[in-house]
Structure 1
Amino acid sequence: MAADRNADVLDATLRCLLRYGVRRTTVDDIATEVGVSRSAVYQYVRGKDDAVRRVADRLHAEALADARAAATADAPLATRVEGILSAKVALATGPFAESPHATELFDEQARLCGDICRVFTDELHTLLTEALAAQHFDRPEDTARILLATTVGLLSSGRPDLLSHATDALLDGFRRHPNSHEHI
C-alpha cells in the first residue's frame, strides 16, 4: 500500500509540475492533488525538491529502460539506433509537449534535474557508441554525439517526426564516408 501511495504522490507531483511549473508547485498543491494532508506527503518525500527529482529520475529511468531494450533488440542497426534516440524524444513529447514547464524536468541545464538529464544523455551516448562500434563504425563516439545532437535539434525545431529519416541519412552517410567527420 505504501508503494501505491508513493506512486500516487509522484504522479500528483508530475501533474502539478506540468500545470504550474517547479517554482509555483508547492507541497500543498501535491497534497491536494493526491487528496491527503500536507504532512502525509512528507511521509513519502522530503519536500518539493525531492519530489521533483524523484519524478525526473523515474521518467528518465523508464525512458532509459526503453532505450536499453531498443539497443538489444534483434533488429537492423538503424532500427536500434532510432529506438535508442526515441527514448530522448519520448521525454519531450506526449503529455509533456503541451506543458510550457516540461523543460524544467528534461533540460540538462535545469537547476533541480540537470544532473539526472546529463546522466541519461551519457547513458544514451554509451548505448549508441556500443551499437555503432559493434558494426565497425569509424569513431563511434563522435557519430553517437552527432546522432544525439541531431535529435536535440529535431526536438527544438518541433520536428521529431523526422527522426527516422535523419537516423537513416546519418548512418548511411557515415557508412559511405567513414572519415568525413574527422575534424569533429
Structure 2
Amino acid sequence: MATDRTADVLDATLRCLLRYGARRTTMDDIASETGVSRSAVYQYVRNKDDAVRRLAERLHDRALSQARAAAETDDPLADRVFGILDAKFELAAGPFGESPHAAEILDEQARLCGDICRSFTGDLHGLLTDVLTGADIERPADAAQILLATTIGLLSTGRRDLLRHATDTVLVGLGTNSAYRDAGLPS
C-alpha cells in the first residue's frame, strides 16, 4: 500500500516558496525538493496552485488551533487575548519570518490565498469577540477589531516584542474595572 506523502509535498512546497516565491516555483521544483518524480507529486496535489493553497490552509489551521487553545484557558483576560493575537504573529514570524515571499501566503489580498487569510482573520475576530464578551467589555466586536488592527500594525513593523504591551494598553483603554484587574494593571 502506498504511503501518503502529502505532508512531504507540502513541506517541499514551503521550502520552494521560501526560496523562489509562488510565481517562480514550478511543479518540477516541488518534485525535486520532495525527491520524487513530477508525476508522483500529482498523486497528492492537483497542481502548483493547489499545493500552495493547501500549504496556506495547513499553516493557518495550525495558527488557529494555537489561538483557540489560548482562548479556552482559564488565564486572565489579558493573557488569553495576547495568546490569540500572538498566534497571528507566530504565523507571520514562522517559516516566512525572513522571506520576501511571505505576502504570497499571508496577505489577505494575495491572489492564491487571500480568502484563506481573510477567513483566518475572521476566525480570530470571532475568538476575540467571544473572549471579550465574557469579560463584559463594551462593544466587544469593535474592541476585537481594534486589537486585530493593532496587531497588524505591529506585524508591519516586525515588533513582536511590543505585542504584550499593546494588548494590555488597548484592554485598559477599552475596559471596565474587571479588564484592568484581569490585565494585572491598577484600576
TM-score per shorter chain, which class?
over 0.9
Q: Which position in structure 2 is the counterpart of 1:131?
A: 131
1:55 is the counterpart of 2:55: yes
Q: Distance in 2 between matches of 1:13 and 1:74?
A: 38
1:12 is the counterpart of 2:12: yes
Q: Which position in structure 1 is the counterpart of 2:120?
A: 120
TM-score, structure 2 normalization: 0.92
Aligned-residue Cα RMSD (Å) equals: 1.1
1:104 is the counterpart of 2:104: yes
Count matched residues. Answer: 176
Q: Give the superposition deviation at 1:118.
A: 0.3
- Aligned partner letter, 1:17: L
TM-score, structure 1 normalization: 0.93
Poorly superposed stretches of 4+, deviation over 2 Å? none
The runs of 5 or more residues in structure 2 that have no matched partner are 178-187
SS in 2 for 1:109: coil
Q: Which position in structure 2 is the counterpart of 1:93?
A: 93
Q: Bigger shift: 39-48 or 95-104?
A: 95-104
Q: Which position in structure 1 is the counterpart of 2:184?
A: none
Q: Give the superposition deviation at 1:176.
A: 5.2
Q: Which position in structure 2 is the counterpart of 1:75?
A: 75
Sequence identity (%): 69
Q: Which position in structure 2 is the counterpart of 1:2?
A: 3
Contact 2:81 2:167 in 1 (8 A): yes
The runs of 5 or more residues in structure 1 that have no matched partner are 178-184
Q: Which position in structure 1 is the counterpart of 2:140?
A: 140
Q: Distance in 2 between matches of 1:102 and 1:49?
A: 16
Q: Which position in structure 2 is the counterpart of 1:172?
A: 172
Q: Give the superposition deviation at 1:95.
A: 2.7
